[in-house]
Amino acid sequence: MQNVVFVGRLAADPQVTEDFGKAVFRLLENRGRDASGADRVVGVNCVSWAKGLNERVIAVGLASGCEVVAVGAFVDNLYEAREGGQRAAKELVIRSLTVLDWAGEHSADTATQAAA
């Protein structure tokens, strides 16, 4: 199985199940600018099935805007669309996660910038 490394910031707070069995979040990465000069942002949906990682790191240490290095494998998932019919989506199943910007640090930086 191929591993993918993705460095990005959380688009929103992660969603973690009550039993910490599953965590879902979206990462966004700025990939420079396109030919017209607009920002080129790439997003990837991530899921973690590691209960320990979800409980000790994702649930308590991550929030919208935190930066992480995610290593995992892409899988295709089929799901039923609201209007009917099947759709496919790729998601990155997390194997390891390195936090570069913790939620507490992010909140402190935001508060410092707001006070300035």
More confidently predicted of 93 and 80? 93
Closest CA to 92 of 59, 69, 66: 69
Of 67 and 103, which is predicted with more confidence?
Answer: 67
6-34 residue pLDDT tens: 999 999 999 999 999 999 999 999 888 88
CA neighbor of 26 nearest in space, from 101, 83, 92, 89: 92
Q: In this predicted model, what pLDDT tens digit does every residue of 39-80 receive, in sequence order? A: 889 899 999 999 999 999 999 999 999 999 999 999 988 888
Residue extents of the structural domains in the chain? 4-115
Which of 34, 28, 20, 104 lies closest to 68 in space, CA to CA?
28
Model-level pTM? Answer: 0.79
Q: Under CATH, domain 4-115 is a member of which superfamily?
A: Nucleic acid-binding proteins (2.40.50.140)
Tokens of 31: 């990939």
pLDDT value, residue 2: 84
* Whether residue 89 has pLDDT greater than 90: no
Please report the pLDDT score of residue 106 as a whole number.
52
56: Cβ contacts below 8 Å, ≥ 6 apart: none
The per-residue DSSP string of 3-14 comes to -EEEEEEESSPP
**How many C-beta atoms surround the C-beta of residue 68 within 10 A?**
23
How far is it, in rounded angstroms, from Cα 55 to Cα 57? 6
The SS3 of residue 69 is strand
